[in-house]
Amino acid sequence: RMKSAASPLREVLREIHAKYASLDDGVVASYIPELAKANPAWFGISAVSVQGQSIDVGDSDQQFTIQSASKPFTFGLALEDHGREHVLSKIGVQPIGEAFNSITLDQVANRPFNPMINAGAIAAADLVHGKDYPERVTRMIEMFGRYCGRTVYVDNSVFTSERMTGHRNRAIGHLMLNFDMVSDQLDETLELYFKQCSLLVTCHDLAVMGATLANGGVNPVTGVRAIDAEYVKDLLSVMHTCGMYDYAGEWAYRIGIPAKSGVGGGIVAVIPGQGGIGTFSPKLDVKGNSVRGIKVFEELAQRFGLHVFEAD
Ligand code: GLN
């Protein structure tokens, strides 16, 4: 349904990349010194189809930490490990018009509002199975490896910074422990969550990850299944309603495709049945979304009618 593709997609992506490379708004995340080292000029755009073809423009192989763009995928692993009913007893699917690191639980069930904010992501990490902590880490990293189609690694200096400064995430974790939303393995779960945020990816990887979800859970490049087909719609739903922090509603209205951003500057987006798009540019707006990334998607959505509710 990529309609009105008058010029080939590669040319369009090049043109959009050139157009927004001069856009200099926003600030690089600096809550930990490691992230502040990112080069603000970095800018990549990648698209991968459900047939496994890819187009990469700009700094598409520059590695950066995945951060919150990891959240849908760990939610998927929690669903596979426990099933929908149990997961939904610990994590809601309700958007919240608050910042991603909000220390808030819902008033009725004391659950984190959704798996795309830190509270819900920590609760999802808590649900990752394993006989011990190393096995939980391995299972999580292997899961990301299936989505990316390669072995992925943790950036150890980012991980160390996250865990040394992660007091707010610890506070969120302890609030949830108070309400039995997470288990008493919380300290390990927080370590797991910090590792998850510190995984190194490229914007090409993000596009492959998006294409895997667009393709019913099978990585179209490797042919390897990354998630049960049954749960793909769960991930896409929360990405659609909650994926872009407190810009999520605006994004769903204006751009209209499931997506998730991270403070490393990445955005992963899914065009169901068609492919994935990844963007990377580290300068963020006040809500924590990549400034250039948002522009790229606004323009792509307009030019190709990507919005899922677009009339054909
Ligand atoms: N590591 C960050 C945190 O937990 C991830 C935040 C993000 O990308 N929004 O605070």
Give per-residue pLDDT as tens, 179-217.
999 999 999 999 999 999 999 999 999 999 999 999 999
**Structural domain 9-67+199-304, CATH architecture:** 3-Layer(aba) Sandwich (3.40)
Q: Please tell me if the domain spanning 9-67+199-304 has the same topology as the one spanning 70-197.
A: yes
- The mean pLDDT value for 89-100 works out to 92
Q: Residues at the annotated binding site?
A: 68, 118, 162, 169, 193, 245, 263
pLDDT of residue 311: 85
Mean pLDDT confidence for 54-74: 98
Find how far residue 169's CA is from the centre of its chain: 18
Catalytic residue, candidates 60, 71, 102, 291: 71
The atom number, within ligand 1, closest to the CA of 68 reads: 8
- Report the pLDDT averaged over residues 79-99: 95
Mean pLDDT over residues 34-57, rounded? 97
Burial class (CB in 10 A: 0-12, 13-18, 19+), 178: exposed
From the number of C-beta atoms within 10 Å of its C-beta (0-12, 13-18, 19+), residue 136 rates as: buried
Annotated binding site for substrate: 68, 118, 162, 169, 193, 245, 263
Q: Is the predicted pLDDT of residue 248 greater than 90, yes or no?
A: yes
Question: Relative to the CA of 194, which ligand 1 atom is closest?
Answer: 1
Q: What is the pLDDT of residue 254?
A: 96
Asked whether residue 2 carries a pLDDT value surpassing 70, the answer given is no
70 close to 87: Cβ distance less than 8 angstroms: no
Q: Write down the mean pLDDT value for the chain.
A: 96
pLDDT at residue 103 greater than cutoff 90: yes
- Ligand 1: residues with CB < 6 A are 67-68, 100-101, 118, 162, 169, 197, 262-263, 288
- How far apart, in whole angstroms, are the C-alpha atoms of residue 29 and residue 36? 6
Q: What is the ipTM of this complex?
A: 0.94
Domain boundaries, the chain: 9-67+199-304, 70-197
The yes-or-no verdict on residue 5 having pLDDT over 70 is no
Residues 194-233 as b/e (b if ≥16 CB within 10 A, e otherwise) read bbbbbbbbbbbbbbbbbbbbbbbbbbbbbeeebbeeebbe
pLDDT at 3 > cutoff 70: no
Mean pLDDT for the stretch of residues 253-273: 98
Is residue 288 helix, strand or coil? coil
Give the closest residue (by CA) to ligand 1 atom 10: 101
The CATH class of 70-197 is: alpha beta
What's residue 99's pLDDT?
Answer: 87
Task: Identify whether the C-beta of residue 91 lies closer than 8 Å to the C-beta of residue 124.
Answer: yes
The pTM score is 0.96
Across 44-55, average pLDDT? 98
Q: Residue 34: its pLDDT value, please?
A: 92
User: Mean pLDDT across the stretch 9-34?
Assistant: 96
pLDDT interval class at 98 (50, 70, 90): confident
The band of 95, judged by pLDDT with boundaries at 50, 70 and 90, is very high
Whether 4 shows a pLDDT value over 50: the answer reads no
pLDDT of residue 7: 56
pLDDT at 110: 94
